[in-house]
Chains A and B, each alone.
Chain A
Amino acid sequence: MTRYFKVQIVFFFRLIIGIIFIYASWDKIAHPAAFATAIGNYHAVPFGLENMMAMVLPWLELFVGVCLVAGIMVDGAAIMCILMNIVFIFAISQALARGIDIECGCFSVSKEGGENIGLQTILRDIAYLAMSFVILYRNEKRLEFFPKPV
């Protein structure tokens, strides 16, 4: 893919995705048990592995978000961001296809702030996915501190 994305757009997307991921990780780190239930509701993770996923995924979201905002290991963070969004899109799609009506567990896992999954959730994740690709295939490495751009 040609590397033609403007520096400002890339930095803007880095900020957006980074802040969204940091925000999304917050409530899940605070409530691991509720998040494990939310993952379990998707019925996509076998052998009760949803608990381990609930331990790791929020922290991964947090670190990826911090890296994108701070300009550290942006390449790796963008790749992880792409992978996570693909997993999210897959999980939500299969739940919708099977007709199970569940809470998203995307930003909030406590009962009050929960939103249900739907087409809009998939579209939102596709938008994040597109932004992550723009970040990965950026033209210039501006405002990045590690590894030092050559």
Chain B
Amino acid sequence: MDIRTPLGQSVFLLLFSCIVGFGSNLVRGDSIPWIAPQIEIAESITPETESNEPVLAAISLSQAKNLFDDGTLFVDARDDAYYTAGHIQGALKTAFLMELIFTIEAIQDKNAPLVVYCGDPGCGDSEDLAYNLQDSGFNKLYVFKGGWLEWSKAGYPSERDQ
């Protein structure tokens, strides 16, 4: 690395910032973890609305199926076209956030459980939507990470849009 060349200088600045940035994070009082925490998979869930403690947790396929059998409301976070092609039975679609919020509120209370899902474990739309809904005051949010991929593979109840 030649510090006299422009490229060498930029590499030096970047490395120096890394050293100072990581180093200062190690010694400062209000340090942050290296990796930002992800939503954890819930070990057990109680879909009853007895407690009003806010929940935002990820759930597995079997947990999602249990909630489905209990009649929990599902929200599809994917785009319209995917929703039309096939979605979990009874799931709401997400055209506009405000519209979705009004639709949910017309159906159930803000403390009632909600399951949010998108295409597959890699898509982040369900988490984005869950955080948005949490900001809007919904308290019991479950992110079904497996999404449409796992649900349809398992052959659980689904439907197409007319």
Contacts and interface: CB of A to CB of B under 8 A. Distances in A.
A147 interface: yes
Size class of A's contact patch?
20 to 34
B66 to A, nearest CB: 29
Interface in B1-47: 3-14, 16-18, 20-22, 24-25, 28, 30-38
A126 interface: no
Contacts, number: 86
A51 B36 contact: yes
Contact of B9 (A33, A43, A77): A77
A105 B5 CA distance: 32
Interface residues of B, number: 32
B124 interface: yes
B36 to A, nearest CB: 4
Contacts of B13: 60, 63-64, 67, 73, 76-77, 80
Interface of A: 32-33, 36, 40, 43, 47-52, 54-60, 63-64, 67, 73, 75-80, 83, 100, 136, 147
Interface of B: 3-14, 16-18, 20-22, 24-25, 28, 30-38, 124, 128
